[in-house]
Each structure stands twice: as C-alpha cells, then as structure tokens.
Chain A
C-alpha cells in the first residue's frame, strides 16, 4: 500500500529565503507525482507535475525533483515571499490506478 510522507509538517522562514520541502513515498511504481498548494478554506492549485520518466520540472521560482528509485521528491522554492504562505501537498499517482495518494502536507509560513 502506497504511503506518502511529507517532512516537515510545518515550516516558518523569513522572506527572501530559499527553502526545500520534502516528500517520500514507499512504492516506487508511480505514474507521476504532483505538487499542490492549498490556501486556507480553498481548493487545491496544481503547481508542478513530474512524470515517472522525468527527473525535474520548473515553473518560475519553483523547482520539483523526483528520484523514483529512492522514493523521494523535493519542492524547491527560491526567494520566498509572504504570498507563498500556504499548505503544500505532495501526491503520487499509482501506476494504472489513476488515483492520487496524498501526503499530509507541509504548512509554510513566510514572514515579512
């Protein structure tokens, strides 16, 4: 059974700092991995998707990496801003099943 773990559960950083969020998964037979952000009381916004054959994806100040063999992904946020404050969720798509298995998220606070 696939399990997704995100560490740390919460992170507080000063504005301008670069930071890394971690995600690990127990079953490396994944289809793809997706990073989301969730603002309080809101839905999920997709940030990046990495297919199982890819090593990384970039979008603006965000860079996500995937090491399937070790069951790890990281989300790197450069030059953090207060507007980046949100909960970041990692989810893996199990091969063939089409469903996403989520981690419990990392709550990020960027202080001005």
Chain B
C-alpha cells in the first residue's frame, strides 16, 4: 500500500552517462514534484507537474528532463551526468488545494563517480 514509490533507491554511475529515476503514486493526486536534496541536506524544488502538464521548472539545467506519461507517474531522465548531480532526489505528490499535504517518496540516492 505504498503511497509514493521511487525506483531505484540507489544509483551509482559514471560521469557522462544517462540515467532515469521513476516515480509512481497511488493516491489519486493530480500534482507531482521532483525535489533535490544536496549534500548539506537542503531540499529544493526542481519540477512540478499538474495533470501531466509542466507548471514549475526551477532553473534546472536542460540535461534534466521530466516526463509524465499519466497523472500517477513522473519520471526524471538525466543526460550527461556530472559530479555535481550527486544528491538525493525525492518525488512528491499532492491534491491541488490549500488543505492538502505533500507526500514524499523514499528518495533515490544518486552517486556520480
């Protein structure tokens, strides 16, 4: 009965490679997000999708490309990985409206060597 799930949990790869992280939510939410938590544990928004449409792109390099095939899924593809991309990436979802919380996935720890 996992609410927001991400795969993989850990990802170790070399510089220059291309990788994807997948996210799925079974909560029936209409908005999904990607956040990045850096080495200093600071969480920052990257992207937000509402009903499969991009509504926030927070000055993220265009090597990062989110894709939302349907309302329950938001995947993150990263091209030409760099050392600075090493971080924990969190997916989140919520129902639109001020009364609704964001729910977070368990995170994907990406290490670029």
Contacts and interface: CB of A to CB of B under 8 A. Distances in A.
Interface of A: 31-32, 34, 36, 42-46, 49, 51-52, 87, 89, 91, 93, 97-102, 104-105
Contact of A46 (B33, B96, B101, B105): B101
Contacts of B103: 46
A49 B43 contact: no
B102 A52 contact: no
Interface of B: 31, 33, 35, 40-45, 48, 50, 55-56, 58, 90, 92, 94, 96, 98-107
Contacts of A43: 90, 104-107
A42 B28 CA distance: 23
A87 B41 contact: yes
Contacts of B58: 99
